Copies of this chain bind each other. A is one copy, B any other.
Amino acid sequence: MEEIEVTSSSHSYKIIIGEKIRFRLKLFLPKEYSSIFIISDEMVAPLYIDEIRSNFTREKIFQTILPPGEQTKSIETFYSVHTAAINAGLDRNSLIIALGGGVVGDLAGFVAATYMRGIDYIQIPTTILAHDSSVGGKVAINHELGKNLIGSFYPPRAVIYDVETLQSLSAREIRSGYAELVKEALIADQNFFNTLINTDIQQVTAKELQSHLSLGIKIKADIVQEDERESGVRMYLNLGHTLGHALEAEMGYGKLTHGEAVAIGLLFTLHVSENMFSKQIAYKPLIEWLKENNYPLKLQRLDDNALLNKMKSDKKTVNSKIKMVLLDDIGSPLVKELSDQEILDSLHSFNRKLVTE
């Protein structure tokens, strides 16, 4: 079992990574709660919700189970979960538990952030990808005009990561999660990056996975501690996401997983960085590894201008200028404002390179 402590502006919380810790939740809660409200989805609840409930014998306990998928992060679902919470009689001494992947975590966290102006919640992530979203306190729902546009910074009281719950993930979900681990390695840790690109992610052991998650989470935790509200270094975590988010939006959500889109975004970042700084950084080893692990790289040709516009609608955009996170080297990120023409030229050369690869 590993513990990582994160200090936020409002409180400190622990991220605990280990096996079977879903049966020992109370060890990791900061206090007693009068009632418990579990938010999960139809895929995860049948597997784990009874085990989670078994931790609470004295408390009043309620649950709400949502359809899986991005469309659950809607204003309608947000409101209906509030309704369920009010009807359950949750008060300021109640605890919300987010049991699931990033969608459940983001929605449940935003409900907790806004229920009676904020009550406690914990994250129990059940995907590798959610190691990223469950740490750092970013919670949100989608607006029809863009992802995560309505939300808060609202850190959880604990993140309890039982790696046993990751054993049932599909190959695609494993790929999706590992892309964010590669991102963290690229931002901060050459050795971790070397480890990852020597990993066959479909053959990873529970022990390796726990180690990879710990390393990735530590990198993320260090950054969000330094810059909780994304005014500075936290933007580095956006590495690969400028194009990644645009690809997801432009192709229609669900065609590519978030991590698959980020993987292409990371390659694009390396492409732009290597050109800008006239040196090799990691494009070649990364694309080799992505291919070996069956990441989708041959996409239908998308309209570059449409992608550019999507890139501009990102929350990090200020004054309509695209700020992209680049790498001067592995472990050495920087933020650069790029003109529309630079982006278009880079997209063009990147596409040509991918096609001939």
Q: Which residues of A contact B (CB under 8 A)?
A: 9-10, 34, 75, 79, 82-83, 86-87, 89, 91-93, 113-118, 138, 140, 143-146, 148-153, 229-230, 315-320
Contacts and interface: CB of A to CB of B under 8 A. Distances in A.
A75 B86 contact: no
Nearest to A60: B319
Contacts of A75: 75, 79
Contacts of A319: 34, 91, 93
B315 A152 contact: no
B315 A118 contact: no
Contact of A150 (B82, B148, B318): B82
A77 to B, nearest CB: 12
A88 B25 CA distance: 45
A277 B82 CA distance: 40
B143 A83 contact: yes
A9, A79, A118, A316 — most chain B CB neighbours (10 Å): A79
Task: Give 3 nearest A-B pairs by CB, closest first.
Answer: A116-B315, A117-B151, A86-B145
Contact of A117 (B9, B82, B138): B138
A229 B117 CA distance: 9
A113 B113 CA distance: 11
A92 B315 contact: yes
5 contacts: A9-B9, A75-B79, A114-B150, A117-B148, A117-B153
Given A75-B75, A79-B75, A91-B319, A86 B143 contact: yes
Contacts of A317: 91
Contacts of A113: 152
Contacts of A145: 83, 86-87
Given A91-B318, A118-B153, 16 more contacts: A9-B10, A34-B318, A82-B143, A82-B150, A83-B143, A83-B145, A86-B149, A92-B316, A93-B319, A114-B114, A114-B150, A114-B151, A116-B149, A116-B315, A117-B152, A117-B153
B115 A149 contact: yes
A319 to B, nearest CB: 6
